[in-house]
Amino acid sequence: MAVVPAIDLVLRTTTGLRLIDAWSGQPVTDGLRCALRRVRDGREIARAAVSAGGVHHWPGLRWPWNADDLAGRAAAGDPSPPAPPQALAEIVVEDPLGRFLPLRLDWPLPPDAPGGALASLVLPSAPGRVAPPGSAGITGLLLLDPPPGSPAGTEPPPAAFARVLAADGQGRNTEGMTDAAGRLALHLPFPRPERKPQSSPPASPPELAPPPGAPVTLRVFHDPAVVAEAVARASLVAAANAARRRAGGSATDAASGAASAFTVIPHAARWRAQPEVRALARIATADALGPLRLEAGRLAVPVTEGLPPHRPELRLAPL
């Protein structure tokens, strides 16, 4: 029998992107729009292809978008060194189905492991997402408490793009994010319910058992600079699209930048690097919010006490 020697084939390709549902920890394989866009005007360079396993990738990219395309670089007659990675393009991840909030990433993608070919991004739930079956839910409105000395009646601004971590008693952390209006919808696996110790001797008459529930602890991270960068980026893209229309750009050119032209989308790395802030338990104090109780069939709503009944909101202050 003839023996066919094994041949190692190395394919030079760009890093693939795996998008993970924050609540389930599983890859999202359908419904996302993941595009490589030019930084200076938001124009779409390439739409991602998606593998059966949910990995988004950009086959066939040429120089300068693919720094490994040496042949394309030579054909272009470009002897200059490559531009800094963040100077040319970025990835914009959006969900037309409204399940997840959008995020932006640097291009080329930094892999999860040095020398690897795969990067991962956790996608936080959007406020309009239908709760996944079997999940627990936390919803709320997060606002920045006005600093001391603010004029009476000062309206608190929304804590746009705050990062929220919910930790349960089993050591699991689930990540969430507020939208531009400060609205939070965080879905997480329901923790193991608390066990109430039995009284001895049994109470007479028997005590009514409370609904099954479990505590979670919330940590909140926020930096106004993340919002400012996202607004500046959206304004730049909008201005570039307006200039292109005035110059008589084609409908195809306009459409290539329209998806994100007026959308304020935070940068994923900056969003994740925000400093921690204090979620206030009570207004006009520095008391931090305590554990939040989750109950089956009910949305948990974290609120700062001492506000009018028509304002069920969670106020944030610097640590």
Task: Go through the domains of the chain in sequence order and give each one's CATH number.
Answer: 16-123 (no CATH), 135-191+215-223+274-318 (2.60.40)
Q: With a cut of 50, say whether residue 6 has pLDDT above it.
A: no
Span between the terminal Cα atoms of the chain, in Å: 73
Instruction: List, for residues 159-178, the tens digit of each pLDDT value.
Output: 999 999 999 988 899 999 99
Q: With a cut of 90, say whether residue 92 has pLDDT above it.
A: yes
pTM of the model: 0.84
The residue type found at 109 is L
Instruction: List, for residues 283-298, the tens digit of each pLDDT value.
Output: 999 999 999 999 888 8
Average pLDDT along the chain? 84
Nearest to 274 by CA among 235, 229, 314: 229
Cβ atoms within 10 A of the Cβ of 201, count? 6
Distance CA 56, CA 307 (A): 45
Instruction: List, for residues 122-157, the tens digit of each pLDDT value.
Output: 999 999 999 999 899 999 999 999 988 889 888 999
Tokens of 56: 């988004």
**Residue 294 to residues 67, 262, 265, 303, 312, Cα–Cα distance (Å):** 49, 37, 30, 14, 17
Mean pLDDT of all residues in 100-128: 94
Tokens of 6: 């094994």
Cβ contact 271:163 at 8 Å: yes
| Of 9 and 154, the one with more pLDDT | 154
Beta carbons within 8 Å of 93's beta carbon, 6+ residues apart: 19, 32, 33, 34, 100, 102, 103, 104, 105, 121, 123
Instruction: List, for residues 56-82, the tens digit of each pLDDT value.
Output: 998 878 776 766 655 555 555 566 655
Cβ contact 22:123 at 8 Å: yes
Q: So what's the pLDDT on residue 78? A: 61
- Cα Dmax for the chain: 90
Distance CA 285, CA 281 (A): 8
How would residue 191 be classed by pLDDT, with cut points 50, 70 and 90? confident
Beta carbons within 8 Å of 207's beta carbon, 6+ residues apart: 199
Distance CA 286, CA 54 (A): 44
Q: With a cut of 50, say whether residue 9 has pLDDT above it.
A: no
Cβ atoms within 10 A of the Cβ of 41, count? 18
Q: In what order do the strands lie in the sheet with 16-21?
A: 49-50, 55-57, 16-21, 118-123
Classify strands 299-300 and 135-144 as parallel, antiparallel or unpaired: parallel
At residue 189, the 3 state secondary structure works out as strand
Q: With a cut of 90, say whether residue 11 has pLDDT above it.
A: no
Mean pLDDT of all residues in 196-214: 62
Cβ contact 125:296 at 8 Å: no
